[in-house]
């Protein structure tokens, strides 16, 4: 597996090499962690807004339909009983959260393994400048940049600054997503054909893959 990433300019020229430390790479374990992280992320996207009314929440039904005895019919205390048409729902869904908790080590392992797989697939590109040469924020400039890094129209752009012009330049491209390095997760890393980092964004992202003492060791 390659241990370096080429740093290129928006014009396609070489701007150096980025060395990948062993603490940022994981080739042996982490498959289950990636699966768990993706499931947890997708579960958290669910709104959980399904809601039904129980018998005490349905309007009406305050009066007993008929007397307890003597009518020949079954006893009934309310027309909003769950066994009646128009009544409440028994054990129906209520608003809830589908979020799942993953501990920090599992999240880090999943992110490290997903990043490693994209590097092995040669699906990671690094640009020298955080502006990506998109100072004007034009869509045509973003399209030209994606062609330059062989990403087509299916790419994740990772930036280090909320004010990056890449957000505006990619707004009209439905299959291009721009995220800050702190928001990247295994799901987004694996979803797109190409992952394009700016060099500052890559440095921020890699800080999440290993504790500081591992990087400096």
Between CA 29 and CA 163 the distance in angstroms is 36
Question: Where in the chain are the domains?
Answer: 4-47+101-216, 52-92
Q: Which CATH architecture has domain 4-47+101-216?
A: 3-Layer(aba) Sandwich (3.40)
pLDDT for 104 equals: 93
Q: What is the mean pLDDT of residues 200-205?
A: 93
pTM beyond 0.85: no
**Per-residue pLDDT, 32:** 96
C-beta pairs of 15-21 under 8 Å, 24+ apart in sequence: 15/128, 16/128, 18/126, 18/199, 18/202, 20/119, 21/206, 21/210, 21/215
Task: Say yes or no to pLDDT of 11 above 80.
Answer: no
Q: What is the CA angle 178-30-160, rounded to 5?
A: 25
pLDDT of residue 80 exceeding 90: yes
Mean pLDDT of 187-192: 95
Residue 132's pLDDT is 79
The per-residue pLDDT for range 165-183, each reduced to its tens digit, is 889 999 999 999 999 999 9
């Amino acid at each position: 597996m390659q241990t370096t990433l080429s740093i290129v300019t928006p014009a396609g020229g070489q701007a150096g090499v980025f060395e990948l430390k062993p603490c940022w790479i994981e080739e042996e374990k982490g498959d289950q962690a990636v699966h768990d992280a993706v499931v947890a992320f997708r579960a958290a996207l669910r709104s959980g807004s399904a809601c039904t009314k129980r018998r005490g929440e349905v309007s009406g039904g305050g009066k007993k339909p008929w007397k307890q005895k003597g009518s020949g019919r079954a006893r009934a205390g309310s027309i909003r009983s769950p066994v009646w048409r128009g009544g409440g729902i028994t054990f129906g869904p209520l608003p809830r959260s589908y979020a799942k908790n993953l501990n920090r080590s599992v999240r880090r392992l999943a992110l490290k393994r997903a990043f490693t797989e994209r590097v092995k697939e040669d699906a990671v590109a690094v640009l020298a400048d955080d502006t990506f040469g998109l100072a004007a924020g034009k869509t045509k400039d973003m399209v030209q940049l994606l062609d330059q890094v062989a990403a087509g129209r299916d790419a994740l752009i990772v930036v280090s600054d909320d004010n990056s012009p890449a957000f505006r330049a990619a707004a009209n491209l439905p299959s291009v997503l721009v995220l800050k390095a702190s928001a990247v997760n295994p799901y987004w890393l694996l979803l797109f054909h190409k992952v394009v980092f700016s060099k500052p964004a890559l440095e921020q992202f890699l800080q999440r893959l290993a504790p500081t003492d591992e990087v400096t060791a």
